[in-house]
Amino acid sequence: MSTKGLRQLRNPNQAQLRELIANKVFIGYDTRSNIPWQVCEYSIKRFNNIDVEPLAQEDLRQRKLYWREPDKLGSTEFTFTRFLVPALMNYKGWALFCDDDIVFLEDVQKLFDLADDKYAVMCVQHDHNPPPGMKMDGRVQSQYPRKNWSSVVLWNCGHPSNQKITVDLINNPNTTGKYLHRFAWLEDEEIGKISTEWNWLVGWNKEPKDGKPKALHYTEGGPWFKNYRDCEYNQVWKDILAETMQGK
């Protein structure tokens, strides 16, 4: 290898880092919904043997990465832990975060192929304003700007602006969910757009108006809940569940 080539490897740019650092997927984990997590993981790995890691709060507490008091308003155990992704990647490379109530219908590599280094994060920029009330297993249906933007996120972990998202900041009780879920530490132009198909809100997005789903998000509640057994796209999730059980 030439001297120039060695220098390039010692000081790689973003494009070279992407080649050197393997993509990784983090799925939010909630102790109350282990089966949806397994189905989500399987839906990814059936296409691609990519590294998938659960964002399990207890594990993160043991590793001294998360020490916030339990969030009484949070609908899941990963309300805040999802924002640890850049730190977990040592602020290098690209990673995907997704909620556990999602199944992928296509290879997530196609999603990583959309990564653009000029953005700090990339997501589907929903205009989702559900009526107030309850969802899933009695959880409150919260309303806030940029709702569901943070449920599927391509993180550019090495982007300079994501250096602001430190472990201490996330654990600071004064750092609100509102601040984090709105990506308030970023300028608007640092948030890239992904097409609706990659975070298809079941019961909200419609074919063919919004395209065709590549990742189904059962955000209101999925077939694993009694009251949602017959929700839209219920058979898709049930079929993947059956494949998951056969694959175990």
Give the residue extent of every domain in the chain.
14-247
- Please list the residues that pair with 140 across neighbouring strands: 134
Mean pLDDT, the chain, whole residue set: 90
The tokens describing 84, both together, are 């640890």
The tokens describing 29, both together, are 């984990």
* Residue 46 backbone phi and psi in degrees, to 5: -70, -20
Give every CB contact of residue 116 below 8 A, 6+ residues apart in sequence: 122, 192
Comparison of pLDDT for 244 and 147, the residue scoring more: 244
Instruction: Work out the average pLDDT over 50-59.
Output: 97
Name residue, tokens 């077939």. Answer: 223
The predicted pLDDT at position 58 comes to 97
Distance in angstroms (rounded) separating the CA atoms of residues 145 and 169: 21
CATH 3.90.550.10, domain 14-247, yes or no = yes
- Structure confidence at residue 245 as a pLDDT band (50, 70, 90): very high
Distance in angstroms (rounded) separating the CA atoms of residues 96 and 152: 7
DSSP letter for each residue of 96-157:
EEE-SSEEESS-THHHHTT--TT-SEEE------PPSEEETTTEEE---TTTTGGGEEEEET
pTM of the predicted model over 0.85? yes
- For residue 137, the Cα-to-chain-centroid distance in whole angstroms is 21
- Structure confidence at residue 12 as a pLDDT band (50, 70, 90): low
Give every CB contact of residue 87 below 8 A, 6+ residues apart in sequence: 65, 165, 166, 167, 170
Distance in angstroms (rounded) separating the CA atoms of residues 130 and 6: 54
The tokens describing 241, both together, are 């569940």
What Å distances lie between residue 229 and 141, 226, 237, CA to CA?
A: 19, 5, 10
- For residue 171, the Cα-to-chain-centroid distance in whole angstroms is 19
The predicted pLDDT at position 178 comes to 92
pLDDT over 70 at 163, yes or no? yes
Instruction: Work out the average pLDDT over 7-35.
Output: 76
Looking at residue 5, the DSSP 8-state letter turns out to be H
Instruction: Work out the average pLDDT over 204-224.
Output: 96
- Structure confidence at residue 72 as a pLDDT band (50, 70, 90): confident
The predicted pLDDT at position 137 comes to 58
Beta strand residue intervals within the chain, DSSP E: 24-28, 51-55, 94-98, 102-104, 121-123, 133-135, 139-141, 152-156, 191-193, 200-201, 215-217
The predicted pLDDT at position 1 comes to 46
Distance in angstroms (rounded) separating the CA atoms of residues 76 and 163: 25
The predicted pLDDT at position 43 comes to 98
- Structure confidence at residue 71 as a pLDDT band (50, 70, 90): confident
The predicted pLDDT at position 3 comes to 45
